[in-house]
């Protein structure tokens, strides 16, 4: 019977903690103080207290405040420090859910809570960073001291400090990470307990942490150097991660992350390494120097660092490896994940040819025909490696051109016949009745544009279909013809829609005066659909064929 009564009280307090109903729980606490600890008996697998529950809701703030005041009046501070089976106190729960309001309340009542660690040795600060709770991290960073706790560890040093640094980087809190490594330089080379990596290796796996990534740079973010600056910054972005890396490099000279940076395409990291230690340009990544490794991994932003080098760059491409010289490596097929960065097999083949031609410019003339250990020249390697891709590119180009040709030929037929069947008919002299009407002139002009552009499209696309489809054709000739064919086709579709709208308006305007507006709106639909479906391909074709390309000088810093 007593156990059943305890269960009823337990449920009442549990519900009150969730609903922020302090009054319902206060009566029970005043009647029986031990109800607070009774939670541990009714959930033995994961014991917790009403304080844990209320804090975890992140909304029962009055309940937490009243309960903390009640505990302090009772005088048993250990009730604030009660931990579940994972070693999490109520403050840990607050850190996990980002409940900064109740975290402040708990710390004000018992500052030692900030130093308490879980079974894994993590303080509330580390958990807040792991759960990406920036506001909680900023606050806990102020109240968590660099002292040895009861477990004999400090949250800022050793493996546990490396864990904290790991989570600040994973959560993109680069301003906090920069502050930590400036204050505790030993953390840079310390390996964490989660992945066994150092901070530099973690950064090397986060391309979006650098300006070359996809996330925009926050112009208002500054490099944090003091604790107050860290706390007032709301989020760390590229500038802080870039500054953090530069500092990491100055204090560690750690080379283990270079290989990862090359594979991830983080040129900023390698650039900073070269600025501080130019000889690193010869650092071997799986038997290849940095430039040759960039060629192998098809990371153009890393490769572009050769444009920031003096004449010394000739030495980076003149080395011989078991795979051959740099041009042999460029002749190898790109890794699949890099090959798929462009759309369609034809553009993939074009990108591979662009790489081969680019590297060919930098290697010595004698290297261009040099045979590797398999007695193959670079061109032979390229042809052999890209045999299947060439066939796929040929089929892709034929299928795309064939489909577009059918549409273009249909528009040619429609546009040609439309001009001889003028809307409204002709007079006895054979002149169109609406010859002096502005809408008829619009019809005539748009029909002529549709005829000429569709004819151009057919000729360009037929030129593609009749091509010999050699390797070199995919570099410029075939993409150029396909681009002109698709652009002409788009113009002809838009023009034929204008011509149709003008015709409909001429025929029906006397009967339905409002017909013009809906006709124009409906005519826009197919044009818009074609644009939305083909625009990405058109943009990629134009950019890849007529743009500045992927190889260029990224800045004016001299690396070697």
Residues 6+ apart with CB under 8 A from 28: 9, 12, 13, 35
Torsion of the alpha carbons at 22, 26, 28 and 34, rounded to the nearest 10? 100
Nearest-5° angle of CA 167, CA 173, CA 175?
A: 125
DSSP character at residue 475? T
Phi, psi of 324, deg, nearest 5: 115, -160
Structure tokens given for 25: 């729980």
Return the sign of the alpha-carbon dihedral for residues 350, 351, 356, 358.
positive
So what's the pLDDT on residue 217? 34
So what's the pLDDT on residue 218? 38
Name the nearest CA neighbour of 102 among 140, 76, 146: 140
Angle between helices 344-362 and 477-508 (to 10 degrees): 140
Structure tokens given for 231: 């706390």
Give alpha helix (H) positions in 147-257: 158-170, 174-183, 199-203, 227-232, 238-252
Phi, psi of 311, deg, nearest 5: -60, -10
So what's the pLDDT on residue 473? 94
So what's the pLDDT on residue 154? 85
Find out whether 259 and 285 touch, Cβ atoms under 8 Å.
Answer: yes
So what's the pLDDT on residue 439? 77
Q: What's the rounded Cα separation, in Å, for the pair 192 and 165?
A: 8
Residues 6+ apart with CB under 8 A from 282: 289, 290, 316
So what's the pLDDT on residue 235? 43
Sequence ranges of the domains in the chain: 2-275, 286-385, 396-546
- Listed as own residue / partner, the contacts of 18-26 with beta carbons closer than 8 Å and 24 or more positions apart are 18/53, 18/54, 18/57, 18/60, 19/60, 20/54, 20/57, 20/59, 20/60, 20/61, 20/62, 20/63, 21/63, 22/62, 22/63, 22/66, 22/67, 25/50, 25/63, 25/67, 26/66, 26/70
3-state SS, one letter per residue, for 319-357: CCECCECHHHHHHCCCCHHHHCCCCHHHHHHHHHHHHHH
Q: What is the DSSP string of 459-474?
A: HHHHHHHTS---GGGG
Q: What's the rounded Cα separation, in Å, for the pair 138 and 173?
A: 10
2-275: which CATH topology? Answer: 1.25.40
Name the nearest CA neighbour of 244 among 290, 276, 210, 215: 210
List the pLDDT tens digit at each of the 560 positions of the chain: 344 444 556 777 778 888 888 888 877 777 765 555 544 434 555 567 888 889 988 998 999 998 888 888 876 788 888 888 888 999 999 999 999 999 999 999 999 999 998 888 899 999 999 999 999 999 999 999 988 766 677 888 889 999 999 999 988 898 899 899 889 988 888 888 888 888 888 887 777 777 665 433 333 332 233 333 333 333 444 445 555 555 555 444 456 678 888 888 888 888 887 887 777 777 777 788 888 999 999 999 999 988 888 777 777 777 788 888 899 999 999 999 899 888 889 999 999 999 999 999 888 887 888 888 888 999 999 999 999 999 999 999 999 999 999 999 999 998 888 877 776 666 666 666 666 777 788 888 998 999 999 999 999 999 999 999 999 999 999 999 999 999 999 899 889 888 888 877 777 766 666 666 676 677 778 777 877 887 888 888 888 888 888 998 888 888 86
Structure tokens given for 67: 């309960």
Residue found under tokens 């097929």: 333
The C-alpha R_g of the chain, in whole angstroms, comes to 35
**What CATH number should be reported for the domain whose range is 396-546?**
1.20.140
Q: What's the rounded Cα separation, in Å, for the pair 487 and 492?
A: 9
Q: What share of the chain is helix, strand, coil (3-state, %, to 5)?
A: 65, 0, 30
Cβ count near 292 (within 10 Å): 26
What pTM, to 2 d.p., does this model score?
A: 0.69
Distance, C-alpha 118 to centroid of its chain: 33
Cα distance from N-terminal residue to C-terminal residue, the chain: 83
**Which tens digits make up the pLDDT trace of 83-119?**
888 889 999 999 999 999 999 999 999 999 999 988 8
Q: What's the rounded Cα separation, in Å, for the pair 134 and 199?
A: 19
Helices (H) and strands (E) in the chain, counts: 27, 0
Chain length of the chain: 560
Distance, C-alpha 435 to centroid of its chain: 57
So what's the pLDDT on residue 42? 42
Phi, psi of 426, deg, nearest 5: -120, 160
User: Which of helix, strand or coil describes residue 86?
Assistant: coil
DSSP character at residue 375? S
Find out whether 233 and 243 touch, Cβ atoms under 8 Å.
Answer: no
Phi, psi of 124, deg, nearest 5: -60, -35
Find out whether 238 and 209 touch, Cβ atoms under 8 Å.
Answer: yes
């Amino acid at each position: 019977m007593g156990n059943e009564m305890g269960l009823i009280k337990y449920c009442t307090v549990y519900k009150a903690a969730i609903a922020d109903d302090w009054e319902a729980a206060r009566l029970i606490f005043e009647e029986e103080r031990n109800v607070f600890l009774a939670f541990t008996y009714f959930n033995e697998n994961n014991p917790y207290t009403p304080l844990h529950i209320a804090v975890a809701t992140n909304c029962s703030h009055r309940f937490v405040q009243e309960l903390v005041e009640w505990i302090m009046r009772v005088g048993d501070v250990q009730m604030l420090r009660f931990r579940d089976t994972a070693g999490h106190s109520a403050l840990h729960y607050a850190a996990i859910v980002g409940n900064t309001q109740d975290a402040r309340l708990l710390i004000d009542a018992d500052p030692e809570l900030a130093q308490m660690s879980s079974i894994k040795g993590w303080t509330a600060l580390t958990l807040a960073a792991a759960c990406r709770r920036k506001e909680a991290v900023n606050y806990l960073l102020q109240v968590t001291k660099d002292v040895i706790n009861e477990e004999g560890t400090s949250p800022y040093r050793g493996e546990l400090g490396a864990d904290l640094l790991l989570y600040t980087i994973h959560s993109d809190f680069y301003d906090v990470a920069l502050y930590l490594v400036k204050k505790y330089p030993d953390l840079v080379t310390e390996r964490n307990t989660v992945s066994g990596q150092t901070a530099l290796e973690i950064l090397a796996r986060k391309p979006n942490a650098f300006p070359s990534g996809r996330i925009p740079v926050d112009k208002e973010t500054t490099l944090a150097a003091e604790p107050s600056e860290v706390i007032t910054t709301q989020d760390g972005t590229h500038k802080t991660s870039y500054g953090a890396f530069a500092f990491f490099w100055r204090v560690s000279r750690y080379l283990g992350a270079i290989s990862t940076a090359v594979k991830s395409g983080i040129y900023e990291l390698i650039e900073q390494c070269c600025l501080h230690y130019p000889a690193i340009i010869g650092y071997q990544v799986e038997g290849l120097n940095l430039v040759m490794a960039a060629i192998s991994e098809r990371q153009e932003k890393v490769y572009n660092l050769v444009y920031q080098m003096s004449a010394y760059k000739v030495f980076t491409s003149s080395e011989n490896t078991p795979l051959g010289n740099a041009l042999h490596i460029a002749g190898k097929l790109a890794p699949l994940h890099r090959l798929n960065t462009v759309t369609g097999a034809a553009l993939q083949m074009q990108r591979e040819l662009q790489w081969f031609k680019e590297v060919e410019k930098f290697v010595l003339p004698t290297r261009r025909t040099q045979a590797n250990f398999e007695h193959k020249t670079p061109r032979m390697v390229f042809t052999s490696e890209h045999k299947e891709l060439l066939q796929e590119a040929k089929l892709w180009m034929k299928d795309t051109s064939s489909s577009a040709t059918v549409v273009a030929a249909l528009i040619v037929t429609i546009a040609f016949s439309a001009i001889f069947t003028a809307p409204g008919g002709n007079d006895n002299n054979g002149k169109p009745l609406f010859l002096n009407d502005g809408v008829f002139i619009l019809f005539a002009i748009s029909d002529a544009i549709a005829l000429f552009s569709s004819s151009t499209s057919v000729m360009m696309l037929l030129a593609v279909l009749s091509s010999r489809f050699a390797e070199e054709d995919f570099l410029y000739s075939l993409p150029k013809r396909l681009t002109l064919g698709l652009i002409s086709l788009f113009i002809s579709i838009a023009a034929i829609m204008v011509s149709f709208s003008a015709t409909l308006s001429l025929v029906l305007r006397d009967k339905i005066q409002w017909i013009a507006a809906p006709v124009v709106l409906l005519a826009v639909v197919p044009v818009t659909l074609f644009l939305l479906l083909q625009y990405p391909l058109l943009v990629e074709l134009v950019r890849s064929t007529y743009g500045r390309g992927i190889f260029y000088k990224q800045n004016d810093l001299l690396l070697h």
